[in-house]
Amino acid sequence: MKADKVKGFRVDKIVDRLQLFIHNFDLNGLKDYWGYLDQRLFCRLEDIFRPEVTKLQTSLFRYYFVYGVQLKNHEKTQELSQRQAQELQGQSEWRDWFILPFITCPRAGDRFKC
């Protein structure tokens, strides 16, 4: 089970692994693992669940972004912005998120509610 990437599809183990990638600022690992889950698990779901998977992915990368801002790790937030810019800029739900590192008090407004 240690070598198994999905840990037997146990939700707690998958969530732990996703959080580990985020807390270590391992964007490559996060993207690779998400791709693996998408290939092995999410692609088998019925089409009616695709919007929920997309929402989960968006929330996961937002968590990475917010975690970087909270720890004032501007290098990692910029890395996400630069590496994912082309993919994320076309998505309306990401448009305002690229300014997050430059706002002094993001909690003051409604813009960054999930």
pLDDT, position 30: 93
Give the angle 27-67-45 at the CA atoms, nearest 5°: 60
Does residue 88 form part of some domain?
Answer: yes
Give the angle 42-47-52 at the CA atoms, nearest 5°: 60
Does residue 49 form part of some domain?
Answer: yes
d(CA 60, CA 76): 15
Q: Number of folded domains in the chain?
A: 1
Does residue 2 form part of some domain?
Answer: no
pLDDT (tens digit per residue) in 51-110: 999 889 888 988 988 888 888 887 887 777 777 766 766 676 766 666 666 666 666 556
pLDDT, position 21: 95
Does residue 1 form part of some domain?
Answer: no
pLDDT, position 101: 64
Helices (H), the chain: 11-23, 27-40, 50-70, 74-89
Q: Which of 16-20, 32-36, 39-43, 47-51 has the lowest mean pLDDT?
A: 39-43
At what angle are helices 27-40 and 11-23 packed, to 10 degrees? 160
pLDDT, position 56: 92
pLDDT, position 11: 85
| Structural domain of 59 | 7-108
Does residue 28 form part of some domain?
Answer: yes
Does residue 96 form part of some domain?
Answer: yes
Does residue 114 form part of some domain?
Answer: no
Go through 28-67 and write b for each residue having 16 or more CB atoms within 10 A of its CB, e for each that does not: eebbebbeebeeeebeeeeeeeeeebeeeebebbbebbbb
For 11-20, what is the mean pLDDT? 90
41 within 8 A of 13, measured Cβ to Cβ = no
Does residue 113 form part of some domain?
Answer: no
pLDDT, position 111: 61
